[in-house]
Structure 1
Amino acid sequence: MRTHDLAFLKRFSMVIAFLVLVALGLILFAHHLNNKVVYPADPVVEQNMKDRIAPVGAVYAGATGAAAQAAAAAAATAALTANVPFEGRTDGAEIFNNGPCTGCHTAGVGGAPKLDAAGIGARAAQQGVEELIKKAIEGFTGSAGVMPAKGGNPALTDDQMKAVVEYMVAQSKK
């Protein structure tokens, strides 16, 4: 029986060796095929790489650089003024009548002073126009209600708010 076991072990070892050689051959063949295939570049990955290695700023040197810097500053200024309501005009009547102001100050909603001597006129006499301008720009919480900063329109400029308050005070004197 011992010879029978040795014969089995020899054949079993030969089968295992054959299977190892087949597995090794398949691995090498798969590696060879993988090197031959050309994969298309992923545009998202390439864009991410370009974004990572892009320069952070720009260099302005010489006359050409000064012109480019002036153009960049002009573009930045134009972008800032593009978001200003009423195209930056400081007509207090236009802003009051077409902006958020008229909604509260015409009817006295939430304790907002009306455009009369008892309303905005009395507050101007009591606190002064400069204090009213400051409260209109920064916002104010009183006992009767809340005045949001810039009337709830943060895009309005300080000069526009000053024009609106001056218009309102002038209307209270009529």
Structure 2
Amino acid sequence: MRCPRPLPGPRPVPFRDAVRRAASEAGASIPIIGELWPPGRSPIGCDVRNYDLEFLKRFSMVLGMLGLITLGLILLAYHLHGRIPPEVSASAAARTQERIAPAGAVYAGDTGAAAQAAAAAAAAAAAASQVAYGGTTDGSVIFQNLCGACHTNGVGNAPTLARGDWNARIAQGKDTLYKHAVEGFTGNAGVMPPKGGNPALTEEQVHATVDWMLDNLK
């Protein structure tokens, strides 16, 4: 069984048109509605006034200017940061120079002689600050702490304090004894290490020890 077709009627009115018509009719009968929506004006849509458009325009310009200023400040900070050299502490720079310094150096001419003299002076100063036995020139102190280990018991054929061990040596002269004691000596009887094996001794201390030994021969 088929359903009957609907009878032809008026075309449906769009919603927008219906609202406009209702507003117009209401405005004609109700004064306050007529003031809100005068005839010919639609109550639907964006009611944007001219001053609203002007505000949006100016606000957009302000935002654009602020963006440009921010970008300029960022670029300026980046430029200044690149021009300022990084801070390096003196100790870090010294350690870096020490690590990359060459293992040796070439000394030539007057500059080389001056450098060698300065190096020798620095070495002498360093040695002076590390003088053995407090720098004493008391021969007995040095003999008891260093020389007595060999010269008391004749270890390695070292001459003892017996006079017979020294007669031939004394005949060579005291300067020769000083030289052998400072620089070291290798003979048929044995070996004398330089400065008795303690390089921290000064020549004056070595001479004082030799003098004390000669004065105490038995």
Q: TM-score, normalised by structure 1?
A: 0.53
**Structure 1: stretches of 5+ with no match in the other structure:** 1-40, 54-75
Q: Tell me the distance in 1 between the aligned counterparts of 2:124 and 2:179.
A: 25
> C-alpha separation between the residues in 2 aligned to 1:150 and 1:170?
19
Distance 1:152 1:50, change over 3 A: closer
Write 1 or 2 for the structure with the bigger share of helix: 1
Give every structure 1 segment of 4 or more consecutive aligned residues whose post-TM-superposition deviation is greater than 6 Å.
none
Task: Report the CA distance shift for 1:82/1:50 in structure 2 as closer, same or farther (over 3 A).
Answer: closer
Q: What does residue range 94-173 of structure 1 map to in structure 2 within 5 Å?
A: 94-99=141-146, 101-120=147-166, 122-172=167-217
Q: Aligned match of 1:84 in 125, 131, 152?
A: 131
| Pair 48,127 (structure 1): closer, same or farther in 2 beyond 3 Å | same
Contact 2:183 2:195 in 1 (8 A): yes
Q: Which runs of 5+ in 2 are unaligned?
A: 1-85, 99-122
TM-score, normalization by structure 2: 0.43
Is 1:137–1:149's contact at 8 Å kept on the other side of the alignment?
Answer: yes
What letter matches 1:147 in structure 2?
M
Cα-to-partner distance string for 1:90-149 (whole Å, 9 max, x where unaligned): 0001110112x10110011112111121113x1343211211111000000011211110
* Residue-by-residue CA offset, 1:77-97 (whole Å, 9 max, x unaligned): 875433101111100011101
Q: Look up the SS of the partner of 2:160 in the other structure.
A: coil
State how many pairs are aligned: 107
Bigger Rg, which one: 2
Contact 2:131 2:201 in 1 (8 A): yes
